[in-house]
Amino acid sequence: MRRFVIGQAKNLIDQTRRPRPHHNNIRLLSPLASDPIPVSSSRFFSDMTGSDSSSSLPVTIDSINPNVLKCEYAVRGEIVNIAQKLQDDLKINKDAYPFDEIIYCNIGNPQSLSQQPITFFREVLALCSHTALLDRDETHALFSADSIARAWKILDQIPGKATGAYSHSQGIKGLRDAIAAGIEARDGFPADPNDIFMTDGASPGVHMMMQLLISSEKDGILCPIPQYPLYSASIALHGGSLVPYYLDEASGWGLEISELKKQLEDAKSKGITVRALAVINPGNPTGQVLSEENQRDIVDFCKKEGLVLLADEVYQENVYVPDKKFHSFKKVARSMGYGEKDISLVSFQSISKGYYGECGKRGGYMEVTGFTSDVREQIYKVASVNLCSNISGQILASLVMSPPKPGDESYESYIAEKEGILSSMARRAKTLEEALNKLEGITCNRAEGAMYLFPCINLPQKAIAAAEAAKTAPDTFYCKRLLNATGIVLVPGSGFRQVPGTWHFRCTILPQEDKIPAIVNRLTEFHKSFMDEFRD
Protein backbone atom coordinates (compact mmCIF):
# COMPACT_ATOMS: atom_id res chain seq x y z
CA MET A 1 0.00 0.00 0.00
CA ARG A 2 2.84 2.37 0.92
CA ARG A 3 4.59 1.96 -2.44
CA PHE A 4 1.25 2.46 -4.22
CA VAL A 5 0.66 5.64 -2.28
CA ILE A 6 4.11 7.05 -3.10
CA GLY A 7 3.68 6.11 -6.75
CA GLN A 8 0.39 8.00 -6.90
CA ALA A 9 2.03 10.99 -5.22
CA LYS A 10 4.80 11.01 -7.82
CA ASN A 11 2.18 11.01 -10.60
CA LEU A 12 0.48 13.95 -9.01
CA ILE A 13 3.70 15.93 -8.85
CA ASP A 14 4.44 15.22 -12.50
CA GLN A 15 0.91 16.23 -13.40
CA THR A 16 1.15 19.54 -11.61
CA ARG A 17 4.31 20.43 -13.49
CA ARG A 18 2.43 20.35 -16.80
CA PRO A 19 -0.30 22.87 -17.48
CA ARG A 20 -3.61 21.07 -17.66
CA PRO A 21 -7.26 21.98 -17.41
CA HIS A 22 -8.54 21.87 -13.88
CA HIS A 23 -11.13 19.21 -14.43
CA ASN A 24 -8.41 16.64 -14.89
CA ASN A 25 -7.25 17.55 -11.45
CA ILE A 26 -10.65 16.72 -10.04
CA ARG A 27 -10.98 13.43 -11.88
CA LEU A 28 -7.58 12.44 -10.65
CA LEU A 29 -8.37 13.20 -7.05
CA SER A 30 -11.87 11.75 -6.89
CA PRO A 31 -10.98 8.07 -7.26
CA LEU A 32 -8.30 8.56 -4.64
CA ALA A 33 -10.72 10.17 -2.27
CA SER A 34 -13.06 7.22 -2.44
CA ASP A 35 -10.26 4.70 -2.08
CA PRO A 36 -9.81 3.29 1.41
CA ILE A 37 -6.77 5.41 2.06
CA PRO A 38 -6.48 6.90 5.53
CA VAL A 39 -7.10 10.64 5.78
CA SER A 40 -3.49 11.42 6.58
CA SER A 41 -2.34 10.00 3.25
CA SER A 42 -4.69 12.15 1.20
CA ARG A 43 -3.38 15.21 3.03
CA PHE A 44 0.08 13.94 2.12
CA PHE A 45 -0.81 14.11 -1.58
CA SER A 46 -1.90 17.68 -1.52
CA ASP A 47 1.26 18.65 0.33
CA MET A 48 3.30 16.82 -2.24
CA THR A 49 1.89 18.67 -5.21
CA GLY A 50 4.16 21.56 -4.33
CA SER A 51 1.58 23.98 -5.61
CA ASP A 52 -0.44 26.47 -3.57
CA SER A 53 -1.28 24.70 -0.31
CA SER A 54 -4.88 25.76 -0.65
CA SER A 55 -5.24 23.51 -3.69
CA SER A 56 -6.50 20.82 -1.35
CA LEU A 57 -9.45 23.02 -0.49
CA PRO A 58 -12.66 22.49 -2.42
CA VAL A 59 -13.09 26.14 -3.37
CA THR A 60 -10.01 27.80 -4.84
CA ILE A 61 -9.37 30.14 -7.71
CA ASP A 62 -8.76 27.08 -9.89
CA SER A 63 -11.99 25.36 -9.08
CA ILE A 64 -14.62 28.04 -9.20
CA ASN A 65 -17.07 28.62 -12.02
CA PRO A 66 -14.97 29.78 -15.02
CA ASN A 67 -17.80 32.11 -16.05
CA VAL A 68 -17.19 34.02 -12.82
CA LEU A 69 -13.50 34.38 -13.73
CA LYS A 70 -14.40 35.52 -17.23
CA CYS A 71 -16.82 38.27 -16.40
CA GLU A 72 -15.65 41.85 -15.83
CA TYR A 73 -17.27 44.98 -14.47
CA ALA A 74 -15.04 48.01 -14.84
CA VAL A 75 -17.44 50.51 -13.25
CA ARG A 76 -16.28 49.16 -9.91
CA GLY A 77 -13.04 47.60 -11.10
CA GLU A 78 -9.34 48.20 -10.82
CA ILE A 79 -9.29 51.99 -10.93
CA VAL A 80 -11.92 52.24 -8.23
CA ASN A 81 -9.96 49.86 -5.99
CA ILE A 82 -6.89 52.06 -6.35
CA ALA A 83 -9.02 55.13 -5.62
CA GLN A 84 -10.37 53.58 -2.43
CA LYS A 85 -6.88 52.83 -1.20
CA LEU A 86 -5.84 56.39 -1.99
CA GLN A 87 -8.86 57.68 -0.16
CA ASP A 88 -7.97 55.68 2.95
CA ASP A 89 -4.38 56.85 2.76
CA LEU A 90 -5.45 60.45 2.24
CA LYS A 91 -6.98 60.44 5.71
CA ILE A 92 -3.60 59.89 7.32
CA ASN A 93 -1.19 61.29 4.70
CA LYS A 94 -2.92 64.48 3.58
CA ASP A 95 0.25 66.12 2.36
CA ALA A 96 1.47 63.26 0.26
CA TYR A 97 -1.00 64.07 -2.53
CA PRO A 98 -1.56 67.00 -4.91
CA PHE A 99 -5.27 66.88 -4.12
CA ASP A 100 -7.28 66.77 -0.94
CA GLU A 101 -10.18 64.58 -1.94
CA ILE A 102 -11.10 61.76 -4.25
CA ILE A 103 -13.94 62.66 -6.59
CA TYR A 104 -15.81 59.64 -7.85
CA CYS A 105 -16.85 60.30 -11.43
CA ASN A 106 -16.94 56.62 -12.25
CA ILE A 107 -20.46 55.69 -11.31
CA GLY A 108 -23.96 57.05 -11.76
CA ASN A 109 -24.58 57.47 -8.04
CA PRO A 110 -26.03 60.98 -7.73
CA GLN A 111 -26.88 61.04 -4.02
CA SER A 112 -23.33 60.09 -3.09
CA LEU A 113 -22.34 63.42 -4.63
CA SER A 114 -24.82 65.45 -2.63
CA GLN A 115 -27.84 65.32 -4.91
CA GLN A 116 -30.85 65.51 -2.63
CA PRO A 117 -33.72 63.00 -2.81
CA ILE A 118 -37.16 64.26 -3.82
CA THR A 119 -38.84 65.36 -0.59
CA PHE A 120 -42.31 64.04 -1.41
CA PHE A 121 -40.99 60.56 -2.21
CA ARG A 122 -39.10 60.33 1.06
CA GLU A 123 -42.06 61.63 3.06
CA VAL A 124 -44.18 58.80 1.70
CA LEU A 125 -41.43 56.26 2.34
CA ALA A 126 -40.93 57.40 5.93
CA LEU A 127 -44.65 57.13 6.64
CA CYS A 128 -44.77 53.64 5.11
CA SER A 129 -41.68 52.62 7.10
CA HIS A 130 -43.24 53.49 10.42
CA THR A 131 -46.99 53.42 9.99
CA ALA A 132 -47.59 54.36 13.62
CA LEU A 133 -46.76 57.91 12.52
CA LEU A 134 -50.04 58.05 10.66
CA ASP A 135 -51.94 57.73 13.92
CA ARG A 136 -50.31 60.76 15.51
CA ASP A 137 -51.53 64.32 15.35
CA GLU A 138 -47.99 65.72 15.23
CA THR A 139 -47.46 64.02 11.88
CA HIS A 140 -49.61 66.60 10.15
CA ALA A 141 -47.18 69.29 11.21
CA LEU A 142 -44.19 67.40 9.88
CA PHE A 143 -45.48 65.92 6.64
CA SER A 144 -47.36 67.32 3.66
CA ALA A 145 -51.02 66.37 3.44
CA ASP A 146 -50.67 64.68 0.08
CA SER A 147 -47.76 62.55 1.23
CA ILE A 148 -49.93 61.36 4.12
CA ALA A 149 -52.77 60.64 1.72
CA ARG A 150 -50.47 58.77 -0.64
CA ALA A 151 -49.02 56.71 2.20
CA TRP A 152 -52.55 55.69 3.22
CA LYS A 153 -53.39 54.84 -0.36
CA ILE A 154 -50.30 52.66 -0.71
CA LEU A 155 -50.80 50.96 2.64
CA ASP A 156 -54.37 50.12 1.70
CA GLN A 157 -52.97 48.28 -1.32
CA ILE A 158 -50.72 46.15 0.86
CA PRO A 159 -52.44 43.20 2.56
CA GLY A 160 -52.58 43.95 6.27
CA LYS A 161 -50.64 47.18 5.64
CA ALA A 162 -47.65 44.93 6.26
CA THR A 163 -44.68 46.59 4.56
CA GLY A 164 -42.43 43.98 6.15
CA ALA A 165 -44.11 41.04 4.45
CA TYR A 166 -42.98 39.35 1.24
CA SER A 167 -45.29 40.61 -1.49
CA HIS A 168 -46.53 38.96 -4.66
CA SER A 169 -43.43 37.88 -6.59
CA GLN A 170 -44.16 40.42 -9.33
CA GLY A 171 -44.60 43.18 -6.79
CA ILE A 172 -47.61 44.59 -4.93
CA LYS A 173 -50.61 44.64 -7.29
CA GLY A 174 -51.76 48.15 -6.41
CA LEU A 175 -48.27 49.50 -7.07
CA ARG A 176 -48.13 47.75 -10.40
CA ASP A 177 -51.48 49.31 -11.23
CA ALA A 178 -49.96 52.73 -10.55
CA ILE A 179 -46.95 51.92 -12.70
CA ALA A 180 -49.12 50.66 -15.55
CA ALA A 181 -51.17 53.84 -15.34
CA GLY A 182 -47.95 55.85 -15.42
CA ILE A 183 -46.74 53.98 -18.48
CA GLU A 184 -50.06 54.63 -20.20
CA ALA A 185 -49.94 58.33 -19.32
CA ARG A 186 -46.43 58.51 -20.69
CA ASP A 187 -47.02 56.60 -23.93
CA GLY A 188 -50.67 56.96 -24.76
CA PHE A 189 -50.98 53.19 -25.03
CA PRO A 190 -52.33 50.88 -22.33
CA ALA A 191 -50.11 48.84 -20.06
CA ASP A 192 -51.12 45.71 -18.18
CA PRO A 193 -50.06 45.44 -14.52
CA ASN A 194 -49.63 41.71 -15.07
CA ASP A 195 -46.82 42.49 -17.50
CA ILE A 196 -44.85 44.26 -14.79
CA PHE A 197 -42.15 42.42 -12.81
CA MET A 198 -40.67 44.53 -10.03
CA THR A 199 -37.00 43.92 -9.25
CA ASP A 200 -34.25 45.13 -6.88
CA GLY A 201 -33.05 47.68 -9.41
CA ALA A 202 -33.21 47.11 -13.16
CA SER A 203 -30.09 44.93 -13.13
CA PRO A 204 -31.71 41.75 -11.70
CA GLY A 205 -34.34 41.99 -14.45
CA VAL A 206 -31.59 42.02 -17.07
CA HIS A 207 -30.01 38.96 -15.43
CA MET A 208 -33.35 37.16 -15.45
CA MET A 209 -33.80 37.71 -19.16
CA MET A 210 -30.25 36.58 -19.90
CA GLN A 211 -30.87 33.44 -17.89
CA LEU A 212 -34.01 32.73 -19.86
CA LEU A 213 -32.51 33.45 -23.27
CA ILE A 214 -29.10 31.82 -22.93
CA SER A 215 -28.68 28.06 -22.91
CA SER A 216 -25.08 27.90 -24.15
CA GLU A 217 -22.34 29.91 -25.84
CA LYS A 218 -24.23 29.31 -29.07
CA ASP A 219 -26.82 31.81 -27.92
CA GLY A 220 -25.88 35.36 -28.75
CA ILE A 221 -27.14 38.71 -27.56
CA LEU A 222 -26.56 41.76 -29.76
CA CYS A 223 -25.14 44.53 -27.58
CA PRO A 224 -24.15 48.08 -28.45
CA ILE A 225 -20.46 48.93 -28.35
CA PRO A 226 -19.77 50.92 -26.25
CA GLN A 227 -22.11 49.33 -23.71
CA TYR A 228 -22.87 49.44 -20.02
CA PRO A 229 -20.89 46.43 -18.81
CA LEU A 230 -23.80 44.84 -16.95
CA TYR A 231 -24.65 43.31 -20.32
CA SER A 232 -21.25 41.83 -21.11
CA ALA A 233 -20.89 40.61 -17.52
CA SER A 234 -24.33 39.05 -17.42
CA ILE A 235 -23.84 37.33 -20.77
CA ALA A 236 -20.49 35.97 -19.56
CA LEU A 237 -21.98 34.76 -16.27
CA HIS A 238 -24.72 32.93 -18.11
CA GLY A 239 -22.31 31.37 -20.56
CA GLY A 240 -23.63 33.08 -23.69
CA SER A 241 -21.98 35.07 -26.48
CA LEU A 242 -21.95 38.81 -26.80
CA VAL A 243 -22.51 39.84 -30.42
CA PRO A 244 -21.27 43.43 -30.71
CA TYR A 245 -22.80 46.12 -32.92
CA TYR A 246 -20.82 49.33 -33.15
CA LEU A 247 -22.40 52.70 -32.54
CA ASP A 248 -21.06 55.38 -34.87
CA GLU A 249 -19.13 58.00 -32.93
CA ALA A 250 -18.85 60.30 -35.94
CA SER A 251 -22.60 60.63 -36.20
CA GLY A 252 -23.23 61.24 -32.50
CA TRP A 253 -23.17 57.53 -31.60
CA GLY A 254 -25.81 56.69 -34.13
CA LEU A 255 -27.20 53.21 -34.52
CA GLU A 256 -27.18 51.90 -38.09
CA ILE A 257 -29.47 49.07 -39.10
CA SER A 258 -26.90 48.03 -41.68
CA GLU A 259 -24.44 47.48 -38.84
CA LEU A 260 -27.02 45.37 -36.97
CA LYS A 261 -27.60 43.29 -40.10
CA LYS A 262 -23.90 42.82 -40.67
CA GLN A 263 -23.22 41.66 -37.14
CA LEU A 264 -26.21 39.37 -37.16
CA GLU A 265 -25.02 37.66 -40.34
CA ASP A 266 -21.51 37.45 -39.00
CA ALA A 267 -22.76 35.75 -35.86
CA LYS A 268 -24.88 33.32 -37.85
CA SER A 269 -21.89 32.34 -39.94
CA LYS A 270 -20.06 31.48 -36.72
CA GLY A 271 -22.91 29.20 -35.66
CA ILE A 272 -24.32 31.60 -33.12
CA THR A 273 -28.08 31.97 -32.81
CA VAL A 274 -28.82 35.55 -31.94
CA ARG A 275 -31.73 35.64 -29.49
CA ALA A 276 -32.09 39.29 -28.55
CA LEU A 277 -31.07 42.85 -29.27
CA ALA A 278 -30.17 45.07 -26.33
CA VAL A 279 -30.63 48.79 -26.86
CA ILE A 280 -29.81 51.37 -24.19
CA ASN A 281 -31.82 54.53 -24.77
CA PRO A 282 -30.72 57.11 -23.71
CA GLY A 283 -27.32 55.48 -24.10
CA ASN A 284 -24.78 54.51 -21.49
CA PRO A 285 -21.93 55.47 -21.67
CA THR A 286 -22.65 57.31 -24.90
CA GLY A 287 -25.67 59.44 -23.93
CA GLN A 288 -27.34 59.53 -27.33
CA VAL A 289 -31.12 59.67 -27.56
CA LEU A 290 -32.44 57.66 -30.51
CA SER A 291 -34.66 59.32 -33.06
CA GLU A 292 -38.12 57.89 -33.48
CA GLU A 293 -37.29 56.87 -37.01
CA ASN A 294 -34.27 54.96 -35.80
CA GLN A 295 -36.43 53.28 -33.20
CA ARG A 296 -38.97 52.22 -35.81
CA ASP A 297 -36.22 50.64 -37.89
CA ILE A 298 -34.99 48.79 -34.80
CA VAL A 299 -38.46 47.49 -34.01
CA ASP A 300 -38.89 46.29 -37.59
CA PHE A 301 -35.48 44.66 -37.51
CA CYS A 302 -36.32 42.71 -34.36
CA LYS A 303 -39.69 41.70 -35.71
CA LYS A 304 -38.22 40.52 -38.98
CA GLU A 305 -35.31 38.65 -37.43
CA GLY A 306 -37.33 37.17 -34.59
CA LEU A 307 -35.29 38.84 -31.86
CA VAL A 308 -36.44 39.84 -28.42
CA LEU A 309 -35.94 43.56 -27.99
CA LEU A 310 -34.39 44.37 -24.61
CA ALA A 311 -34.98 48.07 -24.12
CA ASP A 312 -32.91 49.53 -21.29
CA GLU A 313 -34.72 52.81 -20.65
CA VAL A 314 -33.43 53.66 -17.18
CA TYR A 315 -32.35 57.13 -18.28
CA GLN A 316 -35.72 58.02 -19.78
CA GLU A 317 -36.00 61.13 -17.61
CA ASN A 318 -32.49 62.31 -18.42
CA VAL A 319 -32.69 64.20 -21.71
CA TYR A 320 -30.77 67.48 -21.95
CA VAL A 321 -31.16 68.71 -25.49
CA PRO A 322 -34.19 70.47 -26.93
CA ASP A 323 -33.96 68.69 -30.28
CA LYS A 324 -34.37 65.22 -28.83
CA LYS A 325 -37.13 63.57 -26.86
CA PHE A 326 -37.45 60.20 -25.16
CA HIS A 327 -39.91 57.79 -26.75
CA SER A 328 -40.35 54.38 -25.21
CA PHE A 329 -39.94 51.42 -27.48
CA LYS A 330 -43.35 50.26 -26.33
CA LYS A 331 -44.90 53.45 -27.61
CA VAL A 332 -43.00 53.27 -30.86
CA ALA A 333 -43.98 49.64 -31.44
CA ARG A 334 -47.62 50.25 -30.61
CA SER A 335 -47.80 53.35 -32.76
CA MET A 336 -46.53 51.22 -35.65
CA GLY A 337 -49.57 49.03 -35.08
CA TYR A 338 -47.52 46.21 -33.55
CA GLY A 339 -49.16 44.41 -30.68
CA GLU A 340 -48.60 41.44 -28.40
CA LYS A 341 -48.38 39.02 -31.28
CA ASP A 342 -45.94 41.04 -33.33
CA ILE A 343 -42.98 41.86 -31.15
CA SER A 344 -41.43 40.49 -27.97
CA LEU A 345 -40.28 43.47 -25.98
CA VAL A 346 -38.85 43.80 -22.48
CA SER A 347 -38.59 47.39 -21.23
CA PHE A 348 -36.45 48.14 -18.17
CA GLN A 349 -36.88 51.09 -15.84
CA SER A 350 -35.13 51.95 -12.59
CA ILE A 351 -35.46 54.37 -9.66
CA SER A 352 -31.68 54.86 -9.62
CA LYS A 353 -31.43 57.47 -12.34
CA GLY A 354 -33.65 60.25 -13.68
CA TYR A 355 -33.99 63.14 -11.26
CA TYR A 356 -34.74 60.85 -8.31
CA GLY A 357 -31.35 59.09 -8.22
CA GLU A 358 -32.41 56.53 -5.61
CA CYS A 359 -29.61 54.06 -6.32
CA GLY A 360 -29.30 52.67 -2.80
CA LYS A 361 -32.97 51.79 -2.54
CA ARG A 362 -32.73 49.23 -5.34
CA GLY A 363 -35.99 49.59 -7.19
CA GLY A 364 -37.06 49.01 -10.75
CA TYR A 365 -39.20 46.90 -13.02
CA MET A 366 -39.36 45.27 -16.38
CA GLU A 367 -42.48 45.43 -18.54
CA VAL A 368 -42.70 42.17 -20.45
CA THR A 369 -44.88 42.16 -23.55
CA GLY A 370 -45.26 39.87 -26.52
CA PHE A 371 -44.57 36.57 -24.82
CA THR A 372 -46.76 33.49 -24.71
CA SER A 373 -48.22 32.57 -21.35
CA ASP A 374 -46.00 29.51 -20.93
CA VAL A 375 -42.93 31.72 -21.25
CA ARG A 376 -44.36 34.27 -18.84
CA GLU A 377 -44.96 31.47 -16.33
CA GLN A 378 -41.27 30.69 -16.48
CA ILE A 379 -40.37 34.31 -15.87
CA TYR A 380 -42.73 34.31 -12.90
CA LYS A 381 -41.22 31.10 -11.60
CA VAL A 382 -37.67 32.48 -11.68
CA ALA A 383 -38.88 35.65 -9.97
CA SER A 384 -40.59 33.59 -7.26
CA VAL A 385 -37.39 31.79 -6.20
CA ASN A 386 -36.21 35.10 -4.78
CA LEU A 387 -39.74 35.64 -3.38
CA CYS A 388 -40.01 39.36 -4.10
CA SER A 389 -38.07 42.62 -4.46
CA ASN A 390 -37.73 44.97 -1.50
CA ILE A 391 -40.99 46.74 -0.65
CA SER A 392 -39.48 50.16 -0.11
CA GLY A 393 -38.04 50.06 -3.63
CA GLN A 394 -41.40 48.94 -4.98
CA ILE A 395 -43.11 51.91 -3.35
CA LEU A 396 -40.55 54.28 -4.84
CA ALA A 397 -40.97 52.81 -8.30
CA SER A 398 -44.70 53.46 -8.12
CA LEU A 399 -44.04 57.04 -6.96
CA VAL A 400 -41.59 57.65 -9.79
CA MET A 401 -44.19 56.50 -12.31
CA SER A 402 -47.03 58.47 -10.68
CA PRO A 403 -45.54 61.57 -9.11
CA PRO A 404 -47.46 64.61 -7.75
CA LYS A 405 -49.79 66.23 -10.25
CA PRO A 406 -50.72 69.88 -10.74
CA GLY A 407 -53.06 70.81 -7.93
CA ASP A 408 -51.46 68.45 -5.40
CA GLU A 409 -50.10 70.23 -2.33
CA SER A 410 -46.56 69.01 -3.01
CA TYR A 411 -46.65 69.65 -6.73
CA GLU A 412 -44.91 73.03 -6.71
CA SER A 413 -42.02 71.94 -4.52
CA TYR A 414 -41.78 68.62 -6.37
CA ILE A 415 -41.51 70.34 -9.74
CA ALA A 416 -38.99 72.84 -8.41
CA GLU A 417 -36.80 70.04 -7.08
CA LYS A 418 -37.14 67.98 -10.25
CA GLU A 419 -36.42 70.82 -12.63
CA GLY A 420 -33.64 72.09 -10.44
CA ILE A 421 -31.86 68.76 -10.65
CA LEU A 422 -32.45 68.20 -14.36
CA SER A 423 -31.49 71.70 -15.45
CA SER A 424 -28.37 71.48 -13.33
CA MET A 425 -27.50 68.18 -14.99
CA ALA A 426 -27.97 69.75 -18.39
CA ARG A 427 -25.67 72.62 -17.43
CA ARG A 428 -23.02 70.31 -16.04
CA ALA A 429 -23.20 68.13 -19.12
CA LYS A 430 -22.60 71.14 -21.33
CA THR A 431 -19.83 72.62 -19.18
CA LEU A 432 -17.89 69.38 -19.03
CA GLU A 433 -18.44 68.64 -22.71
CA GLU A 434 -17.07 72.04 -23.68
CA ALA A 435 -14.12 71.74 -21.34
CA LEU A 436 -13.22 68.31 -22.68
CA ASN A 437 -13.44 69.45 -26.27
CA LYS A 438 -10.86 72.14 -25.52
CA LEU A 439 -8.27 69.55 -24.53
CA GLU A 440 -5.62 68.58 -27.03
CA GLY A 441 -6.47 65.38 -28.86
CA ILE A 442 -9.82 64.98 -27.18
CA THR A 443 -13.17 65.09 -28.94
CA CYS A 444 -16.34 64.69 -27.01
CA ASN A 445 -19.81 64.10 -28.36
CA ARG A 446 -22.50 65.99 -26.50
CA ALA A 447 -24.41 64.15 -23.79
CA GLU A 448 -27.93 64.22 -25.18
CA GLY A 449 -29.12 62.22 -22.21
CA ALA A 450 -28.14 59.82 -19.40
CA MET A 451 -25.43 60.92 -16.96
CA TYR A 452 -22.10 60.55 -18.69
CA LEU A 453 -19.59 62.00 -21.07
CA PHE A 454 -17.57 59.60 -23.16
CA PRO A 455 -14.81 61.55 -24.86
CA CYS A 456 -12.49 60.06 -27.42
CA ILE A 457 -8.86 60.57 -26.59
CA ASN A 458 -6.29 60.43 -29.35
CA LEU A 459 -3.35 59.06 -27.39
CA PRO A 460 0.13 59.73 -28.75
CA GLN A 461 2.23 56.73 -29.70
CA LYS A 462 4.62 57.36 -26.85
CA ALA A 463 1.80 57.05 -24.38
CA ILE A 464 0.57 53.86 -25.97
CA ALA A 465 4.09 52.43 -25.79
CA ALA A 466 4.39 53.42 -22.14
CA ALA A 467 1.06 51.74 -21.43
CA GLU A 468 2.20 48.58 -23.16
CA ALA A 469 5.37 48.59 -21.11
CA ALA A 470 3.25 48.88 -17.99
CA LYS A 471 1.09 46.00 -19.26
CA THR A 472 -1.99 48.19 -19.11
CA ALA A 473 -4.54 49.21 -21.71
CA PRO A 474 -3.69 52.76 -22.91
CA ASP A 475 -6.92 54.30 -21.65
CA THR A 476 -6.48 52.60 -18.30
CA PHE A 477 -2.92 53.96 -18.20
CA TYR A 478 -4.29 57.45 -18.81
CA CYS A 479 -7.00 57.09 -16.18
CA LYS A 480 -4.57 55.79 -13.57
CA ARG A 481 -2.23 58.71 -14.18
CA LEU A 482 -5.17 61.07 -14.00
CA LEU A 483 -6.32 59.56 -10.71
CA ASN A 484 -2.90 59.83 -9.14
CA ALA A 485 -2.50 63.43 -10.25
CA THR A 486 -5.98 64.78 -9.58
CA GLY A 487 -7.93 62.39 -7.35
CA ILE A 488 -10.61 62.14 -10.05
CA VAL A 489 -11.95 58.63 -10.68
CA LEU A 490 -12.99 57.79 -14.23
CA VAL A 491 -13.66 54.54 -16.02
CA PRO A 492 -11.44 53.67 -18.99
CA GLY A 493 -13.27 53.14 -22.26
CA SER A 494 -12.02 49.56 -22.38
CA GLY A 495 -14.48 48.86 -19.61
CA PHE A 496 -17.30 49.57 -22.05
CA ARG A 497 -15.56 48.27 -25.17
CA GLN A 498 -14.91 50.54 -28.12
CA VAL A 499 -13.82 50.35 -31.75
CA PRO A 500 -10.40 48.65 -31.56
CA GLY A 501 -7.58 51.17 -31.67
CA THR A 502 -9.70 53.97 -30.25
CA TRP A 503 -9.53 55.11 -26.64
CA HIS A 504 -12.11 56.73 -24.43
CA PHE A 505 -12.99 57.31 -20.83
CA ARG A 506 -16.32 57.75 -19.11
CA CYS A 507 -16.89 60.61 -16.74
CA THR A 508 -20.16 61.26 -14.94
CA ILE A 509 -21.75 64.71 -14.93
CA LEU A 510 -22.74 64.26 -11.31
CA PRO A 511 -20.36 66.20 -9.07
CA GLN A 512 -22.20 69.22 -7.68
CA GLU A 513 -22.09 72.36 -9.81
CA ASP A 514 -19.79 74.23 -7.48
CA LYS A 515 -17.16 71.52 -7.82
CA ILE A 516 -17.22 71.46 -11.60
CA PRO A 517 -14.81 74.39 -12.18
CA ALA A 518 -12.18 72.79 -9.95
CA ILE A 519 -12.62 69.47 -11.73
CA VAL A 520 -12.28 71.17 -15.11
CA ASN A 521 -9.13 72.96 -13.96
CA ARG A 522 -7.51 69.85 -12.61
CA LEU A 523 -8.39 67.81 -15.69
CA THR A 524 -7.07 70.51 -17.97
CA GLU A 525 -3.83 70.86 -16.05
CA PHE A 526 -3.27 67.14 -15.88
CA HIS A 527 -4.02 66.61 -19.56
CA LYS A 528 -1.61 69.33 -20.58
CA SER A 529 1.21 67.84 -18.55
CA PHE A 530 0.36 64.33 -19.80
CA MET A 531 0.57 65.52 -23.40
CA ASP A 532 3.75 67.44 -22.67
CA GLU A 533 5.25 64.20 -21.43
CA PHE A 534 4.04 61.94 -24.20
CA ARG A 535 3.51 64.16 -27.23
CA ASP A 536 5.01 62.57 -30.34
Report the residue from 51, 392, 431, 524 that binds another protein according to the rule CB under 8 A: 392
Nearer to another protein, 52 or 292 (CB): 52
Distances (CA, A) of 146 to 134, 182, 227, 281, 525: 12, 18, 40, 33, 50
Which listed range, 184-192, 262-270, 302-310, 425-433, lies at the site for another protein (CB under 8 A)? 302-310
Residues 439-458 that bind another protein (CB under 8 A): none
Rounded to whole angstroms, how far apart are CA atoms 151 and 419? 24
- For 346, phi then psi, to 5°, come to -120, 120
Report the residue from 148, 178, 243, 391 that binds another protein according to the rule CB under 8 A: 391
Nearer to another protein, 107 or 180 (CB): 107
Q: C-alpha angle 112/118/119, rounded to 5°?
A: 120
Report the residue from 357, 364, 403, 474 that binds another protein according to the rule CB under 8 A: 357
Nearer to another protein, 180 or 351 (CB): 351
Residue 162 touching another protein (CB under 8 A): yes
We find the least distance from the C-beta atom of residue 152 to another protein, in angstroms, to be 15
Residues 321-350 that bind another protein (CB under 8 A): 341, 343-344
Q: Are 444 and 457 in contact (CB under 8 A)?
A: no
Distances (CA, A) of 325 to 102, 181, 292, 315: 35, 21, 9, 12
We find the least distance from the C-beta atom of residue 359 to another protein, in angstroms, to be 4
Rounded to whole angstroms, how far apart are CA atoms 181 and 523? 45
Residue 190 touching another protein (CB under 8 A): no
Q: Are 454 and 493 in contact (CB under 8 A)?
A: yes
Which listed range, 264-272, 355-363, 460-468, 500-508, lies at the site for another protein (CB under 8 A)? 355-363
Report the residue from 6, 15, 24, 26 that binds another protein according to the rule CB under 8 A: 26
Nearer to another protein, 65 or 529 (CB): 65
Task: Give 3-state DSSP helix, strand, coil % of the chain, rounded to 5.
Answer: 55, 10, 35
Residue 204 touching another protein (CB under 8 A): yes
Residues 28-87 that bind another protein (CB under 8 A): 30, 33-34, 39, 54, 56-61, 63-66, 68-69, 71-73, 75-77
We find the least distance from the C-beta atom of residue 20 to another protein, in angstroms, to be 16
Report the residue from 79, 179, 196, 230 that binds another protein according to the rule CB under 8 A: 230
Which listed range, 7-15, 321-329, 386-394, 454-462, lies at the site for another protein (CB under 8 A)? 386-394
Pairing between β-strand 505-508 and β-strand 452-453 as defined by DSSP bridges: antiparallel
We find the least distance from the C-beta atom of residue 148 to another protein, in angstroms, to be 12
We find the least distance from the C-beta atom of residue 290 to another protein, in angstroms, to be 20
Nearer to another protein, 165 or 465 (CB): 165
Partners of residue 221 on adjacent β-strands: 242, 276
Rounded to whole angstroms, how far apart are CA atoms 195 and 368? 5
We find the least distance from the C-beta atom of residue 308 to another protein, in angstroms, to be 5
Residues 166-185 that bind another protein (CB under 8 A): 166-167, 169
Which listed range, 3-11, 125-133, 470-478, 525-533, lies at the site for another protein (CB under 8 A)? 125-133
Q: Is the dihedral of CA 295, 206, 73, 421 positive or negative?
A: positive
- If binding means CB under 8 A, how many residues of this protein chain bind another protein? 108
Query: Residue 81, Cβ neighbours under 10 Å: how many?
Result: 10
Contact string (CB under 8 A) for another protein, positions 471-500, x = contact: ------------------------------
Report the residue from 15, 194, 215, 521 that binds another protein according to the rule CB under 8 A: 215
Kind and range of the H or E run holding 168: none
Nearer to another protein, 77 or 174 (CB): 77
We find the least distance from the C-beta atom of residue 126 to another protein, in angstroms, to be 4
We find the least distance from the C-beta atom of residue 278 to another protein, in angstroms, to be 13
Distances (CA, A) of 300 to 159, 239, 310, 329: 42, 28, 14, 11
Report the residue from 16, 49, 51, 139 that binds another protein according to the rule CB under 8 A: 139
Q: Are 484 and 87 in contact (CB under 8 A)?
A: no
- DSSP per position, 341-393: TT--EEEEEESSSTTT--GGG--EEEEEES--HHHHHHHHHHHHHT----HHH
Can you say whether residue 374 is alpha, beta or left, with left for phi > 0 and alpha for psi between -120 and 50 degrees? Answer: alpha
Residues 85-124 that bind another protein (CB under 8 A): 107, 109-115, 117, 119, 122-123
Residues 364-383 that bind another protein (CB under 8 A): 370-372, 374-375, 378, 381-382
Rounded to whole angstroms, how far apart are CA atoms 384 and 379? 9
Rounded to whole angstroms, how far apart are CA atoms 164 and 347? 28
We find the least distance from the C-beta atom of residue 343 to another protein, in angstroms, to be 8
Measuring CA to CA, which residue among 189, 478, 516, 161 is closest to residue 335? Answer: 189
Tell me, what amino acid is at 262?
Answer: K
